[in-house]
Amino acid sequence: MASFSSSAAAAADIPPQEKHEVFLSFRGEDTRTGFTSYLYEALCRKQIISYMDDHQLERGDEISPTLLKAIEESKISVIIFSENYASSTWCLEELAKILECKKRNGQIVIPIFYGTEPSVVRKQEKSYAYAFAQLEERFKDSMEKVQQWRHALTEVAGLTGLDSKQFRLETQLVQQIVEDISLKLPKLLSLNDRFEGRNLIGIEKRIKEIESLLCLGSKDVRIIGIWGMGGIGKTTLASIIYQRLSYSHFEARCFLEDVREESFRNGTNHLRKELLASLLDKDEAMLRMDTPSAISPFMRKRFRRRKVLVVLDDLDSSIFQFKTLVEGYDDFAPGSRIIFTTRDVRVLKTVADEIYKVEELDYYESLDLFCLHAFKKSSLAADYTMLSDRAISYANGNPLAIQALGSSLHSRSKQEWENTLDRLKMYPNPNIQRVLRISYEGLDDEGIQKIFLDIACFFQSHYFEDELESKLDSSGHSFVKLGISDLINKSLINESNIKCLGPLGIPMPRLKMHDLLQQTGRSIVRGESKEPGNCSRLWTAKEICHVLERNTGSATIEGISFNVSEIRKVVKVSPAAFSKMYNLRYLKIYAIHENKKCRLCLPQGLDSYLSDTPSSFEWESYTLKTLPSDFIPENLVELRLPNNQLEVLWDESQPLEKLKVIDLSHSKLLTQIPNLSQASNLEIINLEGCTSLIQVPSYFKNLHNLQCLRLTDCSNLINVEGLSGHENFEAIYCNNIDKLKSSETPNANFPMNLRTLFLGGTAIEAVPSSFGCLLGLVQLDLDNCKRLKSIPTSICKLKSLESLNLFKCPNLENFPEILEPMECLKCLRLEGTGIKELPESIVNLIGLDRLFLEGCSKLQKLPTLPLGLSYLDVENCESLKSLAHLPSSLEHLLASHCTLLETISSWRTPLGYEISDSYSMDGSIRFDNCLNLDQNTRNNIIPDPALFRILSSATSYKKRPIDHQGLEFPLFICYPGDEIPKRFSYQSLGSSMNIQLPPNWCNTNFLGFAVCFIIDQYSHITDGIEYKLSFKTINENSLYDFHDSDWLYRLEKINSDHVWIVHEASLSCKGFEEKFGANWPSICSNIVTGISFHVRPFRRDDRFHDSCVEEGVEHCKIKKCGIWMIYEEDADQVLDGAEEEPEVETTKRRFGESSEGSGISITDVVGSDDENEYQHKRRVISSGFEI
């Protein structure tokens, strides 16, 4: 660069440790005192750190190392091509260096043609021709340097740049350059550049999601809210968004931090003035015109002309606070954006255009962040694996907690780690609690605070909203629905991403409380008193035993949840143990293990029990024969006494107006149902397993709010008169009442709105035709009805029916004609029936998704099946000879042990078909021991749809978002045969193989792996088969255990060789993205050089072994194995009809990879004798493999 003396004052503002962002290359004699100076000052005003050499270079001097370093460290180089630029060798040396950095580092180059045309520079004409004539004379002994400069000019002049002749004023050109740099620069800065010294994990994905909500190309004014619990990273996200966008997209900007706290300290009007000062460039005259509730027309016009970015961090729940800050100033210029963060979504729902909820970090993000703070590096110390897992589990994805905990454990011994983690169970980290407690203190109502504490102490497990509402309602709370809504709004409880089938069979999200918030609530309760008996809630067995054994309970206690499984001794409770607990409204005594024997002993019974305060009374394995005589149940909402020794609950009528639920299940000694005639609001009665009951009282028909009655296993029940005539029943369970015959069922009087009816295990012989009137019936269960012989054709009238269960009805030989379409029936269970064939009219079950026919030994053939069927089970159908007309929608086909099966029709799941995850079944195609299959079926019909199914699965996985929360069950395929399909290009004899990979193996077209192996016919695998796929890294001696099969692929004794194929989510591109992040193709291609695959039989007492001894069988042998590396072009070939199979090679493949078989061992990679090598390891961290 030619000599130039820049402004020392501007340069002095740059901290010496900061790298330059923009390098200016220019000819000083042409532009130093004019255009370049204006450009430099404009960049400085935008706080863009620019380098402008201020040292005059004399002829013959070499360019300084400092200048070369400045070029290398810059993100953008601006080259100002003026008339005499090429006459300076220093400028040309700068140009060559800049071009080198562009090619090596991706540096952005912006050419500016100042007073000269691009073609002149590109072709070296006019003044550039004269300059090069002199250069060729001067450097005639080193013409290669001159030629290098020519090439550099030609290449850079061909880039997109700006021509000064296209701008009327130089100031316009300067403004355009600065705007261009402002747009490009944030995209070049890494997160470490933006937040130097901070370890930010999982940020980039979330930033992109928020940027998409901002819709920066839109001209409207948008308000975006960022919402989440304390410590989740809202401020960090808002800060990065602000830094990335504020100077590149907006004319004015302001970031107000900690608005809630600052507003409390100094008032909201103070913050308003600070906001206006930033947006108005501290124009004092303008600021004096502002008033809190009105705005002058002049100021309104000023704001309408200014595109601004405003970030309001940590607003409270008051909409007043937001309005005060922006009142009158929300009429910003088009394209303006307002972002604010809060823990309370209610304020967002009022004003925000979009709401972004910040989710917890996933396991791998949590692990990376924890390692950076606990070990000051990205990898995990091998001997701290289990302790790190405990710490990560405690933090449960909260970044603040992960950082605080990791930092507190740094440089400490393993014993100190254990002590710290143990202590956290009782004494939470104060730094974390301080942040989280703010949300609790921000609750507007004491009643809602009590609801929060109840959930934290008693109901933290996942509940559906209606279930949680019922639990809290029964615990004596008022306005429960409002309280739950408020807690959700403030991120104190959250809706789970995973939807589960709710009580009515509808997918619903469950509510959950974050573990740290639970601990916050519990620490608040513990802080009430050092004496447990003076705390409002008790939930730990040790503290409860202390209170009950010492009679230290008090009127302070409102709730007790006692898991007696946590105690080993028998706790003897005195009769007066509860006598002082006047305000006890919630009591739950239960056991979670299979042995329900209660260790809570009442040797002298209970007297002076409780007052009339308890709303929820649950005591599992209650040992007394009756409740205390002075027990007053007038406030009871729920009474649960399962597995008790009761002979009588109470003798006389009781005031039960509030009672909604009573559970007396498995009361073996209870001979009659207690008088519930006054329970006008009773909704649920559970009498399951009350084997001494004989009749259902007639007054049940008068309990008009009763919705659900459970009588399952009431084996001596013979009189159900109380079921007749009831109008509001929704569910009746009468399973396994073998004395109940069809003539005794009150079928004619079942209510029209009945949704669920269980009559399995009864003596019913025929389903009455009147069942067709139950138009609201959703689930009908008649399983194990040994005498059932017929189903009426009127069954098709049940238009709401979703599930029909006829499992193990051996005398049912005919399934009725389906005379009308049934759209809702999804599941039909006919296993173990005597059915010989299904009617052709079964196609009228147009909504059928799952059909179970296992063990129908008389079934010989199937008709055309409904087009939407995805699951078909015909295992052990010994008379079945063919499977024709299979629908293309079929995902799961189980046909093992169909010994007469000869042929099946070909079917294909469409590529990219979204694999069903609404039903918890593994994806399988099974033909185990179907030895009569003809050769064409074995070689073509089964492998063809099987491989098509794998392609469909792999393509589907790629389409799914990374946060997809569906059930991920593996796809596995088994059929008789001894040949691995040709698409498995890597094949080896034995149970293992090694593959050498080229650098480009893992590109964006890669869909994942499928594995295949041949099992010897003499094998008998009782526990299952498992496999391991390991990556060989650039460190040749290291293996990264990418995947240990989590599923045990069971296979009973087989009578011929069998082919086994597996594909699952962990082996797909989705699995790669979950483990390695969005940049997984680059990471894996650069680090992973080979693959090691090993498959072995599994036995529970020996995790990995090569043989097993089982009833005379000496070993389980894997004869062959193979791997299919699936690429998008595989799917393209199938779609294009290109059915040519790839050649199977052991040395080369289409990308030049090689594979090496190694028989039953892989000693060159892992010693088969070292059993420890095959123990389950963590899938993300392994010696020698750091990401």
DSSP calls for 710-779: E-TT-TT--B-GGGTT-S---EEE-TT-TT--GGGS-GGG--TT--EEE-TTS---B--GGGGG-TT--E
Same domain? 223 vs 265: yes
Residues 162 and 219 in one domain: no
- Which tokens sit at 587? 């009591």
pTM of the model: 0.68
Least confident of 19-23, 734-738, 1050-1054: 1050-1054
CB atoms within 10 A of CB 856: 25
Give the burial class of 13: count Cβ atoms within 10 A of its Cβ; 0-12 exposed, 13-18 middle, 19 or more buried.
exposed
In this structure, which amino acid lies at residue 1140? E
Domain match, 1112 and 965 both: yes
Domain edge (last residue) among 643, 678, 693: 693
Residue 1183 belongs to a domain: no
| Contacts (Cβ under 8 Å, ≥6 apart) of 572 | 549, 601, 603
Asked whether residue 214 is assigned to any structural domain, the reply reads: yes
**What's CA 39's distance to the chain center, in Å?**
49
Q: Phi/psi of residue 640, each to 5°? A: -125, 115
In which element (H, E) is residue 1079 found?
none
Q: Does 558 lie in the same domain as 519?
A: no
Task: List, for residues 943-982, the tens digit of each pLDDT value.
Answer: 777 777 788 777 777 766 544 444 456 788 888 988 898 8
The two three-digit tokens of residue 666, written as one number: 């498995």
Whether residue 1115 lies inside any domain: the answer is yes
998, 1136: one domain: yes
Asked whether residue 178 falls in the same domain as residue 214, the answer is: no
1023 phi/psi in degrees, rounded to 5: -100, -30
DSSP secondary-structure letter at 1168? T
CATH number at residue 661: 3.80.10
Please choose, from the candidates 1006, 983, 912, the residue with its C-alpha nearest in 3D space to the C-alpha of residue 952: 912
Task: Report which of 903, 958, 936 is spatially closest to residue 1071, judged by C-alpha positions.
Answer: 958
Distances, alpha carbon 478 to alpha carbons 447, 639, 1117, in Å: 8, 19, 66
Q: Tell me, what's the pLDDT at 1165?
A: 31
94 is catalytic: yes
* Confidence band, pLDDT 50/70/90 cuts, at residue 1134: low
Residues 124 and 263 placed together within one structural domain of the fold: no
**What's the Cα-to-Cα distance from 794 to each of 279, 524, 799, rounded to whole Å?**
74, 60, 11
User: What pLDDT sits at residue 776?
Assistant: 87
- For 817-876, write each residue's pLDDT tens digit: 999 999 999 999 999 999 999 999 999 999 999 999 999 999 999 999 999 899 999 999
3-state secondary structure of 1123: strand
310: domain CATH number is 3.40.50.300
1077 band by pLDDT with thresholds 50, 70 and 90: low
CATH value at residue 793: 3.80.10.10
State whether 148 and 294 are in the same domain. no
- Domain endpoint, select from 779, 806, 833: 806
Rounded to the nearest angstrom, the gap between the alpha carbon of residue 138 and the centroid of all alpha carbons in its chain is 68
Does residue 663 form part of some domain? Answer: yes
Q: What is the pLDDT confidence band of residue 60, given thresholds at 50, 70 and 90?
A: very low
Query: Could you give the number of structural domains in the chain?
Result: 7
pLDDT, mean over the chain: 79
Domain-located, residue 977: yes
Closest CA to 1058 of 997, 947, 978, 1136: 978
Distance CA 53, CA 33 (A): 13
**Of the listed 21, 93, 94, 730, which one is catalytic?**
94
Residue-level pLDDT at 844: 96
* Domain assignment present for 596: yes
Task: Tell which wins on pLDDT, 995 or 39.
Answer: 39
Residue 1039, pLDDT above cutoff 70: no
Say if 1015 falls within a structural domain: yes
Predicted pLDDT of residue 598: 63
Where among 512, 527, 542 does a domain terminate?
Answer: 527
Sign of the Cα torsion 216, 218, 221, 222 reads negative
Q: Is the pLDDT of residue 913 over 80?
A: no
Q: Is the separation of the CB atoms in 24 and 51 below 8 Å?
A: yes
Same domain, yes or no, for 164 and 210?
A: no
Residues 43, 27 within the same domain: yes
Same domain, 329 and 395: no
CA atoms within 13 A on the CB side of 1114: 0
pLDDT tens readout for residues 92-112: 999 999 998 888 777 889 999
In terms of average pLDDT, the best of 3-7, 92-96, 1179-1183 is: 92-96
Residues 689 and 747 in one domain: no
Give 751-782 pLDDT, tens digit per residue.
Answer: 777 889 998 988 888 888 878 888 889 999 99
E strand or H helix at 918, and its extent? none
pLDDT-above-70 percentage for the chain: 78
Has residue 995 got a pLDDT over 50? yes
Domain region containing 1141: 948-1174
**E-assigned strand segments in 940-1036:** 971-976, 986-989, 992-996, 1006-1015, 1025-1033
Kindly state whether residue 911 falls inside one of the protein's structural domains.
Answer: no
Q: Using CA atoms, how far apart are residues 1083 and 1180, in angstroms rounded to an integer?
A: 13
